[in-house]
């Protein structure tokens, strides 16, 4: 018995197995394509939970083994910049 199609693949972006299979059947056959259309892998976990599940489902539906799939692109996480840093420096402790 296989997994239920209501199974959540990406918890951060609420992508279900059913939706993932629909995307693959529609021609989205790389992790990057699925990421762009569904935002899977763009939540707080940055794909640490869902990337392997997506790769496995692509392999199962397309017949392309994971090792032969186009690798996903990764970007370093960014961090917020304060207005003070933009406008001329961080405030001094005595100014706070």
pLDDT in the model for residue 1? 47
Convert the pLDDT of each residue in 7-53 to its tens digit: 999 999 999 999 999 999 999 999 999 999 999 988 888 888 899 99
> CATH for 1-71?
1.10.10.1100
Q: 65-79 pLDDT, tens per residue?
A: 999 998 888 766 677
- In sequence order, the 6+-apart residues with CB closer than 8 A to the CB of 10 are 38, 39, 40, 41, 43, 49, 50, 53, 54
Beta pairing partners, 8: 16
Give the confidence band of 5 by pLDDT, cuts at 50, 70, 90.
confident
The model carries a pTM of 0.73
Q: Structural domain boundaries of the chain?
A: 1-71
Token pair belonging to 64: 């392309």
């Amino acid at each position: 018995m296989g997994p239920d199609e209501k199974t959540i693949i990406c918890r951060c972006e609420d992508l279900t197995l059913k939706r993932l299979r629909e995307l693959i059947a529609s021609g989205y056959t790389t992790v990057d394509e699925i990421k762009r259309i569904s935002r899977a892998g763009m939540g707080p976990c940055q794909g640490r939970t869902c990337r392997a599940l997506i790769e496995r489902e692509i392999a199962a539906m397309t017949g392309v083994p994971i090792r032969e799939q186009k690798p996903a692109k990764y970007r370093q996480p960014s961090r917020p910049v304060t207005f003070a840093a933009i406008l001329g420096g961080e405030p001094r402790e005595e100014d706070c």
